Structures are given as structure tokens and as C-alpha cells.
Amino acid sequence: MSRFYDLSVPDTKGGQVPMSDYEGKVVIVVNTATGCGFTPHYKPLEEMYEALHDKGLEIIDVPCNQFAGQTPGTDEEIHEFCTLKYNTKFPQMKKSDVNGENEIELFTFLKSQKGFEGFGKGAKALAMSALCKARDKDYKDSPDIKWNFTKFVIDRQGNVAARFEPTEDMKKLRECVEKLIG
């Protein structure tokens, strides 16, 4: 199995961004969407990026259209939406698959390190559980990404430290990142 730093992700210009560029940093890798109920997660992600980037935080945004077609448009249109609506400054990669036969290797690796552990508690968690169960009664048994805005946190040594489902409180994500930044 590869290490995080051995992998790369496709960028919007047809190249590859090596994860080795992020060695020694705390990294959030997130699959995003522009037309999802969780799209407002861009706001706390950008706030975290602005507050902690100089201390070693990087965010890798991978738009994905695999969940109810909630990421239509080209890479340029997606980028324009994010910068105009949420003033995002962190790097946005090429729209890519995070599950299935065409999933990018980065997500294959991340899922192998931190599988799905549930949506937590609350109304959003119950709604997501019902949605996923309707699509696949055995959804809990797979490490696959269940929906937009699943976040993986990688520590400064390249270890996948945590996985946050979109239903989890963004404050918990920030607490995890701040602890790893030190």
C-alpha cells in the first residue's frame, strides 16, 4: 500500500499535484459539491484555512459529482462559484470520482486508512442514514464515501488521523486540526 506522500491528485490544468508537496503539514482532504445541503461547509473550511494556514494547515478540495449530481459544471465554473460565494483560497483540484472503478487513488488510500464509522446522532445523521440505506442496505459495511463533504485529516507525518462525515459538527473538525497543528 502506498503512503500518503507517494500519491498525487489531478489538478484543473491537466497536471498532478504530489502529496509530497504537503509533507510536514496538517492536511484536510475533502470531496465537495456546489449544490448540496452541506455546501455551506465551505465557509468554516475557509475560515479555518485563513486562521491556520500560516501554522501549517492545507486543504485539498476535490469536487465530485457522484452524489445526486450536485456538482454540475466545469472545473472553472465550480472554482468561480466557490471563490465568489465563499471566497475560498485553498487549492481546488479537478472534479473527480471518489468511489467506484474510476475513483482517484488518493481516495482509495484514504478509505483504506479510515473507513466509515457512522453519521453520528441528530436529525442530519438520521436523514443521511435513511438516504444511504435506501440506496444500499449494506452501506455501513463499506468504507466508501457516502456523501459530499466527507473530510479526512492527515497529520504532519502523513498518517490519516481522522475521518469526518458531513453530518459531524465542523467545530469537532477544527478541534482535531488545532490539536494536530499544536
What one-character-per-residue DSSP string does 63-123 give? Answer: E--TTTT-S-S-HHHHHHHHHHHH---S-B----BSSSTTB-HHHHHHHHHS------SSH
**Is residue 36 annotated as a catalytic residue, yes or no?**
yes
Element (H, E) at 52: helix 42-52
What's the longest Cα–Cα distance across the chain?
44
Say whether 34 sits in a helix, a strand or coil. Answer: coil
What one-character-per-residue DSSP string does 114-168 give? Answer: S------SSHHHHHHHHHHHHH-TTGGG--S--STT-EEEE-TTS-EEEEE-TTS
**Candidate list 36, 82, 132, 176, residue with the active-site label:** 36
Count CB neighbours of 32 within 10 A: 27
The catalytic residue positions are 36
